[in-house]
Amino acid sequence: MARILITSGPTREYLDPVRYLSNGSSGRMGSALAWAVLAAGHEAIVVTGPVDATYPPEAEVTRVVSTEEMRDACLAAFPTCHGLIAAAAPCDYRPVEVASRKLPKNGRPLVVEFVETPDIVAALAERKESRWIVAFALETHDHHARAMDKLRRKQCELIVVNGPTAIDSPETSLDVLDKDGQVAASIAGDKIRAAEQLFALIADRLLARSAR
């Protein structure tokens, strides 16, 4: 039995007490992956941003809001896990300053300076050791080339490529790329079945290998 860390959903980076930067990630894929992991007889450790999606009661679920909180929760859980499936869509940027009060409209443009948030997968890759990493890459152009750059920089064994049509949708279309840039699988359909097929590939390529 393996312990699998799964990140799921979006994160939020607040501008003031009521406004935040985020995205439309629903957490459906993360939830479906947790069910698939459990159905295969393994343990699912889920770190999720704010979503309406439900997770299996058997899963260990940690709920977070910001990208930094997601990173910290993952860093705490990763040492006890065999691998990571990074299905979350964390914010890449946050405001330099967060206003303590709601920002009023004043008829003038609002200029906000942003900085990059921590890179969760890169932080875990630094502590990878014998563990494996499977990341998602949502791209709008040059899908495979950009995904392969991410795979190499973040020391992933596999990378799952999808597009913006998957956001907040019950269905998805995925290409799974290996370290050689080959398409290990193309998967399309509802996210429950897609997660089952994806985890079957992960189990065959990564869990079976580590058991030998």
Pairing type for strands 83-86 and 132-138 reads parallel
- Buried/exposed 65-98: b ≥16 CB within 10 Å, e otherwise: bbbbbbbbbbbebbeebbbbbbbbbbbeebbeee
**Measured between alpha carbons, how far apart are the two ends of the chain, in Å?**
14
Structure-token pair, residue 209: 């290998």
Structure-token pair, residue 49: 């941003």
The helix (H) or strand (E) run that includes residue 158 is strand 158-162
Q: Which of 7, 8, 11, 23 is catalytic?
A: 23
- 32: nearest Cα among 204, 171, 196: 196
If DSSP codes are grouped into helix, strand and coil, which group holds residue 143?
helix
- 26: nearest Cα among 52, 44, 47, 45: 52
In the chain, the amino acid numbered 210 is S
Pairing type for strands 43-48 and 114-116 reads unpaired
Q: Is 106 a catalytic residue?
A: no
Catalytic residues: 23
